[in-house]
Amino acid sequence: MTNVIIIFIHLSAAGVALGSLVFCLKIYLPMVEDKKVERNENSPSYKVLDLLTPTVFACMLALVGTGVYFLLENYSAQVGLKPGYYNLFGIKMVFVAGAFFASMYSAFSLRIHISDLDLNPGNKKLVPQTLKKMIGLSKMTLWMVAIATFLGIWLARY
Ligand code: HEM
């Protein structure tokens, strides 16, 4: 029963992270943003990324928490695993670490540089390049989370 709950939260967090990244970066923003106009604080991407980056990071925390808890909960069952399980797990962790740090940097460093522009109007000039960096990093996070999801499913059926 505990395993079912842990994997339910693990999969839900993966679904929310992947779903929100795909929707915002591949469907919503390409539809509403005019590519010819330079992004600024009134662009849709400014508001969307302000919500997207902390959401993805919260999912990453839930994924790490439930993933570690799953391993601890099934500690005694680990002796019977097929050889190669931890090789796959290690590869998954490389992608998880990349997604984790990319999302943390976007949510807590880049996003903060361009937030509260009323209090820091001087930061307005940073908006276009910071949004560009955040979109690039979020796209990288998307692919890393997608690969980690694939490897996770493989791991569960190994
Ligand atoms: C980007 C982050 C992550 C994603 C997208 C992800 C995704 C997944 C998915 C889709 C599964 C398959 C579950 C199933 O079909 O039953 C899974 C399984 C698993 N995940 Fe993750 N995961 C992530 C991070 C982590 C982390 C940080 C850990 C551990 C520290 C972890 C440990 C595990 C383990 C041990 C399983 C296999 C369960 C089994 O053998 O049945 N995951 N993951």
Segment 11-56, tens digit of pLDDT: 999 999 999 999 999 999 999 998 888 999 999 999 999 999 999 9
Q: Which atom of ligand 1 is nearest to the CA of 145?
A: 1
> How does pLDDT run across 92-133, given as a tens digit for each residue?
999 999 999 999 999 999 999 999 988 988 899 999 999 999
The count of domains in the chain is: 1
Domain residue limits at 65: 2-156
Indicate the pLDDT class of residue 67, thresholds 50, 70 and 90.
very high
Q: If you average pLDDT over residues 77-90, what whole number do you get?
A: 86
As a three-state string, the secondary structure of the chain is CHHHHHHHHHHHHHHHHHHHHHHHHHHHHHHHCCCCCCCCCCCHHHHHHHHHHHHHHHHHHHHHHHHHHHHHHCHHHHHHCCCCHHHHHHHHHHHHHHHHHHHHHHHHHHHHHCCCCCCCHHHHHHHHHHHHHHHHHHHHHHHHHHHHHHHHHHHHCC
Instruction: Kindly give the distance from the C-alpha atom of residue 133 to the centroid of ligand 1, in angstroms, as a whole number.
Output: 28
What number does the ligand 1 atom closest to the CA of 63 have? Answer: 24
Interval between CA 141 and ligand 1 midpoint (Å): 16
Confidence at residue 1, expressed as pLDDT on a 0 to 100 scale: 84
